[in-house]
Amino acid sequence: MNNVEILQEALQLNPQERYMVVESLLESLDKPDKDIDETWANEAEKRLQDYSKNKVETIPFNKIFD
């Protein structure tokens, strides 16, 4: 069964069943990735250290959203 056939079959489901299919598919894509999580944690730590040591220029919140 190819993608088009799967979609055609799914569209025949009632709204609640389609919702369950969509939720299951989205959930399957949203799995944690330890490498990515570690990379972001390291970057956040580096940025915090740079901020604490005044190595970065900060911008006031109200200037960002003016």
d(CA 32, CA 40): 12
Exposed, middle or buried: residue 53 (CB in 10 Å: 0-12, 13-18, 19+)?
exposed
d(CA 66, CA 59): 12
Structure token digits, residue 57: 């220029």
Query: pTM higher than 0.75, yes or no?
Result: no
Question: What percent of the chain clears pLDDT 70, i.e. is strictly above it?
Answer: 100
Q: What is the pLDDT of residue 32?
A: 87
